[in-house]
Amino acid sequence: MTEETFDRLQAASADFAFTSLAYADYLDLKEHSVLEESDALILLYGYNKESKLWEYHWAANDSAVLLDCIKPKTDTIVSFVPADWIDAFRERGFSFYARWQDYFISDINAVDTIEGGTLLTDAECADAAAITQACRYQSRGFSVQTEAWVRSWLNNENDDTENNAIFIDKDEDRIVGIVCTATYAHDHPKGAVVWIREAAVDPKYQGRGIGRKLIKQALNYGKRHGATRAFLAADECNTGAIALYKSIGFCEGEDEPQNDLIFIAEQNG
């Protein structure tokens, strides 16, 4: 799929009542195929290298129209499913993959942060990716990252963010924890936002406060780059992480959670 095609489809998706394309990025979907493009449905299909699963991206007004065109033959994700459509998806063999809730800090200056910290270098991208891979099965919906993804984050290849960085913690020369961060919405009247993403600590080093330290360093980094607010997303079942985020100062957002459903082929014959 060309970038021109992606931009056209993403713009067209805004005319539908529901879509998963609003926050999609071309770099993530450039190898996806366009299965349908009509006034009733936009449907893309491809392999997600982060989750290592096939996925549909879509825009539709009616669940029946979407489900009639979805025919998964292997483990497949459909993201941003409206709450009212979940029962219809379950009838077709789908179950929850993740249910992402947004969390915010409305004023970073009102919470404790930590100055300084160690930033990941380009030469360490493979080691950082390995930390996410070590945490793969610890939380439903957690996507491991590849070395290429880590490097693309450092290189600011997402046009929607600025000041991309990855904070790390080391035991001697070995990376044992990471937090990816960036800022966005610098023109917003309420001020820019620092995004906390991909917080991961080697399971052997969890429970030592490493994640808390890295998040607080990332928040301070955001402040130094003009951010006044903070954002992250967490799966509702990841209660330990959510308790950590709330203790730092994050509060649950008011919007409906993002419902990501999965079709597991083995369970559906």
Q: Which pLDDT score is estimated for 43? A: 97
Strand runs labelled E in the chain: 18-19, 33-37, 41-48, 53-60, 76-78, 94-105, 118-119, 162-171, 174-184, 192-201, 227-235, 251-252, 258-263
The tokens for 215 are 């998040």
pLDDT at 115 over 70: yes
Query: H-type helices in 14-107, by residue range?
Result: 26-29, 63-69, 86-91
Backbone angles phi, psi at 52, to 5 degrees: 60, 40
* Residue 159 pLDDT > 90: no
What are the residue boundaries of the structural domains of the chain, listed by start?
Answer: 3-92, 103-252
Please determine, for residue 177, whether its predicted confidence score (pLDDT) is greater than 90: yes
Residues 250 and 104: beta-carbon distance below 8 Å: yes
pLDDT at residue number 48? 86
CATH code of the domain occupying 103-252: 3.40.630.30
**Position 125 pLDDT exceeds 90:** yes
Mean of the per-residue pLDDT values for the chain? 92
Q: Residue 26: what pLDDT? A: 87
Select the more confidently predicted residue: 144 or 71.
71
- pLDDT surpassing 80 at residue 9: yes
Helices 210-224 & 239-248, crossing angle to 10 degrees?
50
Model confidence over 224-250: pLDDT tens digits? 999 999 999 998 888 889 999 999 999
Report pLDDT for 140. 65
pTM of this prediction?
A: 0.82
Closest CA relative to residue 56, chosen from 37, 86, 40, 34: 34
